[in-house]
Amino acid sequence: MKKFSMLKSVAVSTIAVMAFAPLANGASKPSAEDKSQVQSQTPKGWLYCATEESNYETFTDRNENHSGKSCGTLRSVVANPKPFGNLMQMIKATDYVGKRLRMSAWVKTKLKSGTGQLWLRIDPDGAKGEAQAAGCFDNMDDRPIRGNTDWTKYELVVQLRPNSTDIAFGLMLIGKGQVWLDDVTFEQVGPEVPLTGKYVSGAEATTKPDNLNFEE
Ligand SMILES: [Ca+2]
């Protein structure tokens, strides 16, 4: 079952600086302030995980968008949320092995504290020895999004070594507030495009990314 295998993959990932908690099987209940169109559930194709699942919720927001009629969102629902909530996907690296990859995504934030951070992680085949076991990783730790921001395009660039097996990516909310995500795209870029990611050691995942414009 897909969700179970995802849970396993994420649980064994230690590469991402932060410890991933087990995935929630859907988000929590809508808060009182949102009575109308909130479907409090993880957007199709995406996964939700958090250090404390009940501290955040995620859903497809049909009242907000960068394109089309909807986008994904993640928000805190308690006074003092634990470090992070995360909306993410994991795919096989097959289409990009050996290439330089740029992920672009549009993000909007309304943050009372903390940061919003896109992240992109390349996982290597750990069985090929430590010398090759470093994957490329960027979580915008050096350029986090703070405060209230309108829709802005962000770019993350990583290199996939020949032993790359999986790609994981997403948007973290570290603190109190709400973040919105739309129009995530991937493209191969040339070596002249500077990396934003660094090589780190660590971990594993499925196939194609899904519902990247949140219209499904
Ligand atoms: Ca959209």
Question: 3-state class of 21 per DSSP?
Answer: coil
Domains and CATH numbers, the chain: 2-201 (2.60.120.260)
Ligand 1 centre to CA of 45 (Å) is 14
Distance CA 55, CA 191 (A): 41
Quickly state the pLDDT bin for 133 (edges 50, 70, 90).
low
CB of 178 within 8 A of CB of 116? no
Q: What is the pLDDT of residues 94-115, one digit of tens each?
A: 999 999 999 999 999 999 999 9
Ligand 1 centre to CA of 61 (Å) is 9
pLDDT greater at residue 68 or residue 162 = 68
Q: What is the pLDDT of residues 9-61, one digit of tens each?
A: 443 343 333 333 333 333 344 444 443 344 459 999 999 999 899 999 999 99
Ligand 1 centre to CA of 127 (Å) is 39
